[in-house]
C-alpha cells in the first residue's frame, strides 16, 4: 500500500503492506506512551497522530483502523 505523507511521518516511508503499517503504528503509540492509561482501548493523539485521526484528540483502537485506512492508497 502507498502511504500518505502524514502517515509516513509516523510509520516511515512506504509502500508497506497494511499489516506492517498497523504494526509500526502500534510501535509508535507504545514508544510515545499514547495508549490511554484508564481505558487501554483508546489512543491519545499527539500532533502527528491528530492529523491522521482527522483532528480528534482521542480515538478507540477500532476507529483508528478506519481512520488510518483513509491514508492508504
Residue 61 maps to which CATH number? Answer: 1.10.245.10
Count of the separate structural domains present in the chain:
1
**Residue 27, pLDDT above cutoff 80:** yes
Grid cell, residue 48, equals: 502527528
In percent, the amount of the chain with pLDDT more than 70 equals 100
Question: Which residue segment(s) compose the domain that 64 sits in?
Answer: 5-69
- pLDDT of the residue at 31: 97
- CA separation for the pair 47, 2 (Å, rounded): 22
23-35: average pLDDT? 96
Q: Is 60 helix (H, G, I), strand (E, B) or coil?
A: strand
pLDDT of residue 11: 95
pLDDT at 1 over 80: yes
Amino acid at each position: 500500500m502507498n502511504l500518505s505523507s502524514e502517515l509516513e511521518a509516523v510509520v516511515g516511508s512506504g509502500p508497506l503492506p497494511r499489516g506492517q503499517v498497523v504494526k509500526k503504528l502500534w510501535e509508535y503509540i507504545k514508544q510515545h506512551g499514547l495508549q490511554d492509561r484508564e481505558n487501554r482501548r483508546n489512543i491519545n493523539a499527539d500532533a502527528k497522530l491528530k492529523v491522521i485521526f482527522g483532528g480528534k484528540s482521542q480515538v478507540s483502537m477500532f476507529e483508528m483502523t478506519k481512520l488510518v485506512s483513509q491514508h492508504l492508497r
